[in-house]
Amino acid sequence: MHSIIIRTALSSIVIAVVAAPPLSAGQSGNAANGQKLYTAQKCSLCHKIAGKGGPMGPELGKVGATRDAAWLKGYLTNPKSLDPKNKMPPVKLKGAEMDDLIAYLLSLK
């Protein structure tokens, strides 16, 4: 009897997790997918992580230790908002993809 109750409860949890809505800004995204997006968006043409990447932008290897999700979202959406001379283009990701990229950047410590 108890095993039936436990299985039913676990099934309910699995259904709730699978049916959960996409993450919004400020919630953690999927860092593994964010790493793929970092590559797909060609961020490494300008930025280095652990010494690998381009020379134009700052090293991002420890960005997760110095910035939070809100700062990263604002900056990635409009880099010129903090420095009008900034050459970085806005990141064109939205919703869960932006959350995933931010999760990846926050994982770099």
| Cα 35 from Cα 12, distance rounded (Å) | 31
Are 79 and 35 within 8 A, CB to CB? no
* Interval 90-108: pLDDT, tens: 999 999 999 999 999 999 9
**Cut 0.95: pTM above it:** no
What is the pLDDT confidence band of residue 7, given thresholds at 50, 70 and 90? very low
- Residue identified by tokens 């993809």 is 97
Q: Does a structural domain hold residue 5?
A: no
Separation in Å, CA 108 to CA 6, 23, 74, 91: 38, 20, 18, 18
Q: Does a structural domain hold residue 43?
A: yes
Q: Does a structural domain hold residue 95?
A: yes
Which secondary structure element, helix H or strand E, spans residue 95, and what is its range?
Answer: helix 95-107
Residue 55's domain spans which residues?
24-107
Q: Does a structural domain hold residue 18?
A: no
Q: Does a structural domain hold residue 50?
A: yes
| Cα 43 from Cα 88, distance rounded (Å) | 10
User: In this structure, what CATH number is given to the domain that contains residue 82?
Assistant: 1.10.760.10
Count how many domains the chain has: 1
* Interval 38-63: pLDDT, tens: 999 999 999 999 999 999 999 999 99
